[in-house]
Amino acid sequence: MSPAQQAPGGIGPDDVPRLSPMFRLQWEEAQGCRVLLYPEGMVRLNGPAGEILNCCDGVRPVAAIIGELAERFPDAATLSNDVYQFLDKAHENQWIDYAPA
């Protein structure tokens, strides 16, 4: 899937993801990874999930996020598809929403 394609969940390349207000993303030294903090607890993120969420700043569209990650991780063959799938799941979990156009 190229950055210009749309994920099955309806996320498109021009959508601008941002962290939902009830969550805070931070590096947790004790965990050795990025975590999502929320009032009821914490979600420990794997490396790729943390990298993707770290780019969800409410400014960059999905296509730009994929482009940036592709530059940083050139050997990630399925990066575009992985980003779309993760963003769909993150939206389903209410970790992210989309900035108004």
CATH code, domain with 29: 1.10.10.1150
Tens of pLDDT, residue by residue over 54-75, are 999 999 999 999 999 999 999 9
Examine residue 63 and state whether it is found in any structural domain, yes or no: yes
Examine residue 99 and state whether it is found in any structural domain, yes or no: no
Residue 1: per-residue pLDDT = 44
Examine residue 6 and state whether it is found in any structural domain, yes or no: no
Weakly modelled stretches of the chain, pLDDT under 70: 1-9, 101
Examine residue 12 and state whether it is found in any structural domain, yes or no: no
Question: Domain span at residue 59?
Answer: 17-94
Inter-CA distances, 78 with 10, 33, 63, 70, 83, Å: 19, 22, 14, 10, 9
Query: How many structural domains does the chain have?
Result: 1
Examine residue 31 and state whether it is found in any structural domain, yes or no: yes
Mean predicted lDDT score pLDDT of the chain: 90
- For 21, the 3-state DSSP assignment is coil
